[in-house]
Structure 1
Amino acid sequence: MITPEQKTLVQTTWAQVVPISETAAELFYNRLFEMDPSLRPLFTSDIKEQGKKLMQMITIAVRGLDHLDEIVPAVQALGRRHVAYGVTDAHYDTVAGALLWTLEKGLGDAYTPEVAEAWTATYTLLADVMKAAAKEPTA
């Protein structure tokens, strides 16, 4: 679970990233593919368009932290869809690393140890929901 303070940190720092979302998306994917080049083939669509979708998804998730119960079904569905894309549990760790690195670059001095901890807790919570849903038997 994330604390109310962590939720606030995630929401306020994400508001600082949104104006540079296109650059942040580019940084994220460059870092992701640098960390694990084998992930590149999983992204078959236009990477700029994929970046927009990523930023929109994170925005929805960050806003939804006030009402986690309402976003859990969508997060679960996302986890189930990722199975079809070839995503494994190990990929979530790589994504976490790329996301935190991107936030550090995008936020600069605002990326404090507390912010890093808040984002790590939030990402872990959402990734765990996705991974659990991915393991559920399909109907």
Structure 2
Amino acid sequence: MGFTEKQEALVKESWEVLKQDIALFSLRFFSLILEIAPGAKNMFSFLRDSEEIPQNNPKLKAHAVKVFKMTCESAIQLREKGQVVVGETTLKYLGAVHVNSGVIDPHFEVVKEALLRTVEEAVGKDKWNEEMKGAWAEAYDQLASAIKAEMNTNPPASS
């Protein structure tokens, strides 16, 4: 069936809400990742050496913004092109970073759950519904698939 115009609109609309307080939602996103999978902390270079998530960690915010934005862009691409198209250089970089960080399939599911819960909190119970959840889930799944495909072509760097 493909990604519908309505699904794209739902993702764009909720992205606009996220952008209004991106620092808060970035922190919430990472808090949820660590709540779901506490061991994930060591996979993020900017969290590894800290005892808690610093409220003003610029790297944390920047990383969360990238995840939110790339998922939103994936939704737009799914609508326009029928697939996620990430620049080859970016995709190679993402594949290599994820391989070298030891990311495996279940980690993508943790991030997806945290992403969906963050978007739900951002838009509120009155706007959040199965359709919006499905749109974000599909956009994220397609982005994750593109990253995983690149990871499979990137062997881990030897230590």
Q: Please indicate the TM-score interval, normalised by the length of the shorter structure.
A: 0.7 to 0.9
Contact 2:108–2:144, Cα closer than 8 Å, also in 1: yes
When residues 104 and 76 of structure 1 are mapped into structure 2, their CA distance, relative to the original with a 3 A threshold, is farther
Residues matched between the structures, number = 138
Match in the other structure for 1:39? 40
Q: Distance in 2 between matches of 1:7 and 1:56?
A: 18
2:105 maps to which residue? 89
Note the 1:116-127 alignment, pairs <5 A. Answer: 116-127=133-144
- 2-side partners of 1:75 and 1:119: how far apart? 20
Q: Does the CA contact (< 8 Å) of 2:26 and 2:65 recur in 1?
A: yes
Root-mean-square deviation (CA, aligned residues, Å) is: 2.2
Summarize deviations over 1:18-41 as a string: whole Å, max 9, x none. Answer: 111111111111111010111011
TM-score between the two structures when normalised by the length of structure 1: 0.85
Decide which structure has greater helix share: 1
Q: Deviations over 1:95-134 (max 9, x none)?
A: 1011111111111022121100100111111111111110
- Structure 1: stretches of 5+ with no match in the other structure: none
Partner of 1:25: 26
Provide the rounded CA distance (Å) in 2 between the counterparts of 1:69 and 1:104: 23
TM-score scaled to structure 2, two decimals? 0.76
Identity of aligned residues (%): 25
Larger radius of gyration: 2
| 1:71 maps onto 2:72 in alignment | no
Give yes or no for contact 2:71–2:136 (8 Å, CA) kept in 1.
Answer: no
2:72 — aligned with what? 62
Paired position in structure 1 for 2:61? 51
